[in-house]
Structure 1
Amino acid sequence: MYLEVVPVGTETLPDLVAYARVAEDAGLDAVGFPLGGALEPTTVLSALAVTTSRVGLVADVSPAYAAPYNVARYLAALDHLSRGRAGWRLVATDPAALADLHGVEPPAAERRARRAAEYAELLPRLWDSWDDDAIPADKERGVYVDEAKIRETRWEGTEFRVHGPLSTPRSPQGHPVLSVEVADAPSRALAAEHAEIVTIGADLSRAADILAGLGGRASLALLALPTGIRPTAALAVEAERAGFGGFRLELDRPAFDRLVGETLPVLGDRSVPAGRTFRERLGLPRPADRSHEGVAA
């Protein structure tokens, strides 16, 4: 049973470090961080990366406002700093105030779906613009970077235009693990085509119906419980029967401590799978190099 926890109401670095260390020591699989708070997700998780060693680190990402090239760099940096524990969660909605903060109108649903689809296609191509062995660091030959193994990504999409390789070498996982929040028809279609993890926030009967309509592409489906709610043993059994492999839980520190102290002991086997990276522990293959697909159709 996979468990991903999201700190709520915890926004100082010492408190977040303590939260993440308890999550890791308790054998939880990942710590997520949401948009809309006082701190930017990839920045927070990069700080947590150097104070933890096993737990996955999943940053919420919105396709509505941020340039995909910058997001690709931030996530690659998180994967490097954590030695292969980064994930990213494409969210289907944003807090309404974000549009005002960016000085723009929120994108209509159709445009937001196009942007999310291009994110899911473009970011992997940027990560693949470096071969795994592009940095031989060969002192004898005097070659640090093999420029023949760095390729330009040329993307001409409806929403984005990107020419050039990423400035960051390919990270330990190749691509950080992609999770998609499923909340509407466009996000269901995106998840069915691209997601490695899906999160579905609905009552279990509706969530199970949504999951059944995804076609089984994702390796792991998470039931996102309302903020502050912890799973019971009975709910865990019911969710597993419906095809869910775990939960995504938004918990403040008191509720999180009750999860660790009271709930985990009744959830059964919580051993974390072996593996050096987040991707390996999820049983996901290393992504194939897609750099040759750099020009959008």
Structure 2
Amino acid sequence: MATVDAPARQLHLNVNILGGLGLHPGAWRWPAADPLSFLDVDSYVRAARTAERGLLDAVFLADSPGIVQNVADVPPYNGIEPTLLLTAIARETTHIGLIGTASTTYNEPYNIARRFLGLDVLSGGRVAWNAVTTYNAHSARNFGAGEPTRAQRYARGNEFVHVVRELWQGWRSDAVLADRATGRFADPDRIRPLRHEGAHFTVHGPLTLPGSPQGYPVIFQAGGGVEGRELAARFADAVFAAPEDLAAAGAATARLRAQAAAFGRDPQAIRVLPGLRTTVGGTEEEAWRRRDQLADLSDRSGELVTLAGRLGVPSTALDLDSPVPARLLRAAPPAGGGEAEERARRLAERGLTVRDLLSRGLGAGYFHVVGTPEQVADRIQLWFESRAVDGFNLMPDVLADGLPALVDEVVPVLRRRGLFRTEYRGSTLRAHYGLPLPGRHPATAITG
């Protein structure tokens, strides 16, 4: 009997369309960029169309419910709420996935479940929810609350994600009959209330609409540390990670898959997609020149504040060309438990200068590759073929010309090497990621 070859493992690529501008703090001053892109829905739509032209899996929108940037120096990346932008993108695209971030700390499960499932239905099953536990004081003040502890945030976050996922499964796929002849629109026995009563939420349900062609949205998780990894292992279909190097990426992925197996899940059913900052040039010298030009356009105060927060030291005490003072590191509180915090502390204790720490992405938090299209493709291929990752959330320095460089110059290299798709083979985000349709709950009649 002839054997059937297993399908080749597929590289997955999303692109972060942060603020419509790009990841670099100097992107808004770059000649090809529009400084007001963060307010222009067409800039997001153009980026999504470019990503779809490259057959990328999805576009990704970060968010935080409060201003967390120094707006004297950079535009806010989170000006417009993600699901509003993704709804506009959904109407102007046909295949690209749509990933939006929403906090479990300052929202309610029913509203988030309804909003994201509604977008999933409108888009034909292309949506993912990036579930994050918000931890900055800027957001807390907008909701009349003190900043919760890490343990409190993740206790609430785990229950929140559980409730949302249960609400998404309230309608069975055969609940809607729409039978004109009998006059019967739906079978109430195939729609179940949730009746959840937990430590943080009491939610009855069900939602007001059935599921999409992919069942319900893909669940992303972007938190680090022990608690974040546990939440991801329990619930996530995909993880937006921030490892410092290939070895760290492999160890983190192995740990995540082992935890998922401990929860009774298929350990291979989670897509691990770390952030990858990119600066692409026609030559290596051109790429580094671009990086230096962008550095000259950016005020580094925002990066310094981010780095200082991760280290637990005052930003005013940091000098770009000196190491972080050892006395400040000794006096700082323990690292907060996230991957970025742990990495920052480890490298600072090695005596690297502040400038070196920032060059390693610690002001932004993601691995950075600078080079030609072939060099960028080499790095992607190395990490992917090592099985440390399943792909990347690409984060171009400037969206206006950095994303076209990825789509038109890097992706073709990956395609020639047999690593990336030549066509979309499905219409849903689960199909892009090679994820099965989620299971359904047994029917429970609605009462009362």
The answer, yes or no, to whether TM exceeds 0.5 is yes
CA apart distance, 1:130: 1.2
Q: Which residue of 1 aligns with 2:270?
A: 219
Q: CA offsets per residue over residues 248-278 of structure 1, 9 Å max, x none? A: 1233322212212332222233215512311
C-alpha root-mean-square deviation of aligned residues, in Å?
2.1
Q: Which residue of 1 aligns with 2:403?
A: 256
Matched-pair contact (CA < 8 Å) for 1:230–1:259: no
Q: Which residue of 2 aligns with 1:50?
A: 91
- 4+ long deviations beyond 6 Å: none
Q: Which residue of 2 aligns with 1:233?
A: 377
> Which of 267, 274, 281 does residue 432 from structure 2 map onto?
281
CA apart distance, 1:124: 1.8
Q: Are the structure 2 counterparts of residues 236 and 177 from structure 1 closer, same or farther at C-alpha, using a change threshold of 3 Å?
A: same
Tell me the secondary structure at the aligned position of residue 411 of structure 2: helix
> Which of 66, 71, 80 does residue 112 from structure 2 map onto?
71
Matched-pair contact (CA < 8 Å) for 1:179–1:198: yes
1:157 counterpart = 2:198: yes
> Which of 17, 32, 53 does residue 60 from structure 2 map onto?
32
Tell me the secondary structure at the aligned position of residue 200 of structure 1: coil
Q: CA offsets per residue over residues 143-166 of structure 1, 9 Å max, x none? A: 222222221111111111101311
Q: Percent sequence identity over matched residues?
A: 34
CA apart distance, 1:81: 0.8
Look up the equivalent residue of 2:15 and give its one-letter code: V
Look up the equivalent residue of 1:3 and give its one-letter code: L
Look up the equivalent residue of 2:275 and give its one-letter code: A
5+ long unaligned stretches in structure 1: none
CA apart distance, 1:95: 4.8
> Which of 128, 145, 156 does residue 115 from structure 1 map onto?
156
With 153-162 and 262-271 compared, the bigger mean Cα shift is at 262-271
Matched-pair contact (CA < 8 Å) for 1:64–1:106: no
Matched-pair contact (CA < 8 Å) for 2:95–2:424: no
Q: Which residue of 2 aligns with 1:247?
A: 392
Q: In the aligned structure 2, how far is the partner of 1:105 from the partner of 1:171?
A: 37
Tell me the secondary structure at the aligned position of residue 144 of structure 1: strand
Matched-pair contact (CA < 8 Å) for 2:12–2:433: no
Tell me the secondary structure at the aligned position of residue 180 of structure 2: coil
Q: In the aligned structure 2, how far is the partner of 1:126 from the partner of 1:9?
A: 30
1:2 counterpart = 2:15: no
Q: Which residue of 2 aligns with 1:142?
A: 183
CA apart distance, 1:61: 2.1
Q: CA offsets per residue over residues 38-97 of structure 1, 9 Å max, x none? A: 111112111111111001111112111100100000111111111011111122545542
Matched-pair contact (CA < 8 Å) for 1:230–1:249: no
Aligned length: 293
CA apart distance, 1:227: 7.5
Q: In the aligned structure 2, how far is the partner of 1:80 from the partner of 1:66?
A: 21
Q: In the aligned structure 1, how far is the partner of 2:191 from the partner of 2:133?
A: 33
Give 1 or 2 for the bigger CA radius of gyration. Answer: 2
Q: Which residue of 2 aligns with 1:100?
A: 141
Q: In the aligned structure 2, how far is the partner of 1:170 from the partner of 1:129?
A: 9
Matched-pair contact (CA < 8 Å) for 2:101–2:132: yes
Tell me the secondary structure at the aligned position of residue 209 of structure 2: coil
Q: Are the structure 2 counterparts of residues 258 and 94 from structure 1 closer, same or farther at C-alpha, using a change threshold of 3 Å?
A: farther
Q: Are the structure 2 counterparts of residues 122 and 291 from structure 1 closer, same or farther at C-alpha, using a change threshold of 3 Å?
A: farther
Tell me the secondary structure at the aligned position of residue 92 of structure 2: coil
Look up the equivalent residue of 1:247 and give its one-letter code: F
Matched-pair contact (CA < 8 Å) for 2:125–2:216: no
Matched-pair contact (CA < 8 Å) for 1:129–1:291: no
Tell me the secondary structure at the aligned position of residue 189 of structure 2: helix
